[in-house]
Amino acid sequence: MKAMKKLNEKDIIKIFQKKKFIPEDIEIFHLGNQMCASNIDTLVESTDVPPKSNFIDIARKSIVSSVSDFAAKGIIPKFCMISVTIPKKISKKHVIELSIGFKKACKEFSLEFLGGDTNAGKEIVISVVLFGKAEKTVPRSGAKNGDVILTTGPFGYTSSALEILLKKKKSTLRFRNLAKTRFFHPNPRLEFGILCKHLLTSSIDSSDGLSACLQELSYSSKKRFVITEFPVKDDVKDFVKTNRLDLKDIVFNGGEEFELVCTTPSKNLEKVKKIAKKLKISLYEIGFVTKGKHLVLENNGKQHRITDSGWSHFS
């Protein structure tokens, strides 16, 4: 008997949502006359948490993941619910640290904690649900010909951190500390997303990797996304060179950056730059949108297809 093709995460989501599948991380719904938004995101210890992680950081990151989705839509999250599965072997100290992390994150992002649920299991699993009021939102499907492709920060640090933590790759102390900080304590671009939502045509958060989110924007908008520059700093390039790694792989196929990847018309670019400067965000112009399909890298006048090799839970 011929083996069934292995399903990936997107295939499974499509099965659950059937023909109603809409590739967005935020659900918009009516509550009376009010338009509301909600999302849920789940952190699983075995797939999302490197060894020796700080439990306060784990709790915060579970909330950051949902906040970043709201940032991509330009929506302010207001309420939070949390479900936690905890193994019996966990210590009281670690439970207290998780509690501290949740409380600090709710305060950091001005979230009102409504409650949640606890259960026992084989590993830590945290599901965070956020709610907010939806007004103007930024879709994934709105990119237009001639739009500029932007990222709200550099890429490559989280991939580098995992190379250091899991594969013991060489690095300077300064770079190691910076990469680990960016991995364990990411900053979602919530204020940027809210202030720029009227200036952007499409937006997505980069939790699954740069190649994956660019592919999603290209597919949803039915446009060709042409990448002309890597959003990367020299210290990442030096780390890659020292360890003989692939720069394209480190930059495009990581994940967990929680930066925004978005498009804007050229006429809005200066306004977007002004907001980014005010928020002390390093904005990267990495390419443009044009007629056609697929995500491509342009080099010396030639275009090469970029495949989606970002993070997938079932790959």
Q: What is the pLDDT of residue 14?
A: 60
Looking at 98, 133, 168, the residue that finishes a domain is 133
Domain of 101: which CATH number?
3.30.1330.10
- 224 φ, ψ to 5°? -90, 130
Compute the average pLDDT of residues 227-240. 98
The answer to whether residue 315 is domain-embedded is no
Pair (41, 154) in one structural domain: no
CA distance 81 to 67: 13
pLDDT band at 57 (very low <50, low <70, confident <90, very high): very high
Q: What is the pLDDT of residue 11?
A: 62
Ranges of H-type helices in the chain: 9-17, 45-48, 55-73, 92-108, 157-167, 173-184, 190-196, 210-221, 234-242, 247-252, 269-278
Looking at 133, 163, 194, the residue that finishes a domain is 133
The answer to whether residue 15 is domain-embedded is no
Pair (176, 294) in one structural domain: yes
Burial of 113 (0-12, 13-18, 19+ CB in 10 A): middle
Pair (60, 163) in one structural domain: no
Pair (219, 159) in one structural domain: yes
Please measure the distance between the N-terminal and C-terminal CA atoms of the chain and give it in whole angstroms: 23
Looking at 66, 98, 133, the residue that finishes a domain is 133
CA distance 126 to 149: 33
Torsion angle, CA of 33/195/288/147, rounded to 10 degrees? Answer: 60
Q: What is the pLDDT of residue 292?
A: 95
Checking if the pLDDT of 254 tops 70, the result is yes
Pair (190, 295) in one structural domain: yes
Per-residue pLDDT tens for 147-203? 999 999 999 999 999 999 999 999 999 999 999 999 999 999 999 999 999 999 999
Domain interval for residue 67: 24-133
Per-residue pLDDT tens for 66-77? 999 999 999 999
What pTM was estimated for this model as a whole?
Answer: 0.89
Specify the higher pLDDT residue, 8 or 302: 302
The answer to whether residue 224 is domain-embedded is yes
Checking if the pLDDT of 1 tops 80, the result is no
Pair (226, 128) in one structural domain: no
Per-residue pLDDT tens for 202-231? 999 999 899 999 999 999 999 999 999 999
Pair (59, 186) in one structural domain: no
Pair (31, 153) in one structural domain: no
Pair (71, 153) in one structural domain: no
Pair (36, 126) in one structural domain: yes
The answer to whether residue 69 is domain-embedded is yes
Pair (110, 217) in one structural domain: no
Lowest mean pLDDT: which of 8-17, 32-41, 94-103?
A: 8-17
Specify the higher pLDDT residue, 253 or 301: 253
Pair (156, 93) in one structural domain: no
Domain of 277: which CATH number?
3.90.650.10
Q: How many domains does the chain divide into? A: 2
The answer to whether residue 240 is domain-embedded is yes
The percentage of the chain sitting over the pLDDT mark of 90, rounded to a whole number, equals 81
For residue 86, list its beta bridge partners. 120
